[in-house]
Amino acid sequence: MSALAAAAADYLELRRALGFKLVKEGRVLATFVSYLDGRGAVTITAEATLAWACQPPDAPPPRWSKRLSVARAFASYMRALDPATEVAPTGLWPSARRQEPFVCNPTEIAALVDAAARVGTSFAAGTYSVVVGLIAVTGMRTGEVLRLDIDDVDLDQGLARVRDTKFGKSREVALHASTVATLTAYGTWRDRSAQAPLGPSFFVSRAGSRAKAGQLGLHWQATIDRAGVVRAHGRRPRLHDLRHSFAVNTLRSWHDAGLDVEARLPLLSTYLGHANPASTYWYLTATPDLLAAAARRLETPNGTST
């Protein structure tokens, strides 16, 4: 193992200890170190970094920007160990822009959940309609929902325990009484309808194995077709847009209830499993109804602003 490869391993171990998973970034960094080793380099230079970052030549510039970001982070770490290390400049290529989220209103969410219960086989419909509904009412990540085991869902306490999340942490997600009732009914139906033996998963396929993201994705596309939830130019909601929708609709409900939204934002961050509120801002979109709710707060005598 080269000195740079050993340093890269130490760097990843340090950052992962701080809560970052760095799965894709770790693979990308390995190719960077391999490139440097292939050139016989013992020190990171800006020239080598840029030459590696813009590969392959026909890749879109946002991909080059992402590769450069990974290399620059490692170079910044290495500069503390090797003063000769050069950190390549940033801003050379455009970064990937966030796709505008499709924020569903409550009526659209109800239509999607209803449609999900009416497409595919009876078992797929019964499982994935509950999955879609749970994502919509909790804002949980798709992977978090599919990874739930039976022991993670405490229906007596009304909690879903999410383990080993995106940032390597776990959290408890409080469930509304109506959600508990739906999950209870699903569990009874699942145990009666699935082929034995059942695994530990809460959401399962007909064979009793864990429900798969790929099958959920196919079911979601059929769900959109049936629900007819589209916008201008044929824009269709992604499954992940339900998480955006939860964040925006939560803020709107707080505004409507006259609550202190700014004070509650850290609570929303914790509920969504974010490491800090800055990550939550990514999910907040200035929809017309959210802006209208905020404007009404400003117009009221008891509003927090004047």
Neighbours of 144 (CB within 10 A): 23
Is 243 one of the annotated active-site residues of the chain?
yes
Measure the CA–CA gap between 303 and 167, rounded to whole angstroms.
Answer: 36
Task: Identify any residues that bridge with 160 across adjacent strands, giving them in sequence order.
Answer: 153, 173
Catalytic residue among 72, 243, 244, 252: 243
Catalytic residue among 66, 255, 283, 297: 283
Which token pair is 270?
């914790």
Instruction: Name the one residue in this structure whose structure tokens are 């325990």.
Output: 161
Catalytic residue among 79, 161, 166, 226: 166
Is 11 one of the annotated active-site residues of the chain?
no
Measure the CA–CA gap between 234 and 221, rounded to whole angstroms.
Answer: 13
Residue 38 burial (CB < 10 Å; 0-12/13-18/19+)? exposed
Is 35 one of the annotated active-site residues of the chain?
no
Which token pair is 291?
């802006």
Is 274 one of the annotated active-site residues of the chain?
yes
Q: Give φ, ψ of 54 to 5 degrees.
A: -90, 35
3-state helix, strand, coil in the chain (%, to 5): 55, 5, 40
Catalytic residue among 141, 147, 190, 297: 141
Catalytic residue among 206, 210, 236, 240: 240
Is 21 one of the annotated active-site residues of the chain?
no
Catalytic residue among 66, 219, 274, 297: 274
Residues recognised as catalytic:
141, 166, 240, 243, 274, 283
